[in-house]
Structure 1
Amino acid sequence: MLDATQELVEAGGYHGAGLNQVIAASGAPRGSLYFHFPGGKDQLVGESVRRAGRTIGDALEDLADSSVSVAEFADAVLRHLGDRLEESGWRKGCPVATVALETAATNDPLQEVCSEVYTSWEEALRVRLVGRPDADDLAVVILALVEGALLLARTHRSKEPLERVARQIGVLLS
């Protein structure tokens, strides 16, 4: 159910992941949905966003453990996300952004989940920027650049915005 929800959420956002679609895509019986997710759709979507966030966060941490420079790290992250986006037929952008945009103003539990995931990603970036006096600000700026580049890449169906942002992050960090 979480796999199906994650696929539906990434492709169509919160509103594109109706319970009937989740049940159809997962093949799970309706009763299982409410048994495992008594909080209904919000709990199911929240868990899928957390799960997707951990997947991206794990990739960030794997890249952060390497000995490359921060600019090379950002470039590797953007290439990873761009490859993921292209391989999905431009359907898998950020697993958090669409839900955040659709629900942050009206759904406190989902807003909190989205904020939690973004905070964890900021921390992964901050770890790579350790020792810089502007590490906190740079982590937010880099995340914002990545999010914007993902949106543009998905919209244009091109990795070019990600490549441009990678170059500019290199300039910013030099």
Structure 2
Amino acid sequence: MAVKGDETKARLIEATRRLVEAKGYHGTGLNEILTASGAPRGSLYHHFPGGKDQLVGEALSAAGREIDGVVAELSATAAGPAELVAALLDALAERMVAADYTKGCPVATVALEVAATNDALQPLCDGIYTGWRRALASALLADGHDAAEVDDLATTVLALIEGSLVLARTARSRTPIEQTGRRITRLLAKR
């Protein structure tokens, strides 16, 4: 029975990830999640007694781990942070195109909606972004960038990545991502 319950919980999380990334927190209803997941209503409240916030929180955490995994995989072959970021941008662009521009950053859509209003999800979104910034700062430091500058540089690069995803999704074009990738490569070139 536990296996079936785990599968149902995973389906609910995956359906929520897809829907909130495409439609946002407020644009995604619980009935829609139930329909997309094929899960019965009772399972939703059994697995997520905290309701929609808990479900969305677990979906965001899963999305954050997915990007962490992509970064770890790309880091294994990248020759440095510039190559890593370029590969990450390419992977995110491919993901966006494959989803017909309904996907961008798996956290941004919700983060923008709830940052000022939802005390449960705001710190979760912030934590995911903080983890990504720290990982990038560590890669920059390991690559020989100035220790006094890596935090600012990591924040700038993450902001450029996030902004390029918004612009690409809005334009329904990879061009903003490609332009940003070229600029980040120059930005990360050690002088």
Shorter-chain TM range is over 0.9
Unmatched 5+ stretches in structure 1:
none
Instruction: Describe the superposition over 1:41-83 as per-residue Cα deviations: whole angstroms up to 9, x where unpaired.
Output: 0000011011011101111122223241321111101000000
1:126 to 126, 137, 142: 137
2:188 matched to 1:173?
A: yes
2:114 to 80, 90, 103: 103
Query: Alignment identity in percent?
Result: 54
Aligned 1:32-71 pairs, distance under 5 A: 32-71=43-82
- Give the number of aligned pairs: 174
The residue number in structure 2 matching 1:94 is 105
Aligned 1:156-171 pairs, distance under 5 A: 156-171=171-186
2:95 matched to 1:84?
A: yes
Whichever of the two has the greater Rg, that structure is: 2
CA contact (8 A) 1:10 1:94 kept: yes
Instruction: Describe the superposition over 1:85-125 as per-residue Cα deviations: whole angstroms up to 9, x where unpaired.
Output: 00001011111111111111010110011011111111221
Q: TM-score, normalised by structure 2?
A: 0.88
Q: TM-score, normalised by structure 1?
A: 0.97
Counterpart CA distance in 2 for 1:67 and 1:118 is 21
Instruction: Describe the superposition over 1:16-47 as per-residue Cα deviations: whole angstroms up to 9, x where unpaired.
Output: 22101001111101010000000000000011
User: Quick one: higher RCO (CA 8 Å, sep 6+), 1 or 2?
Assistant: 1
| Cα RMSD (Å) | 1.0
The residue number in structure 2 matching 1:155 is 170
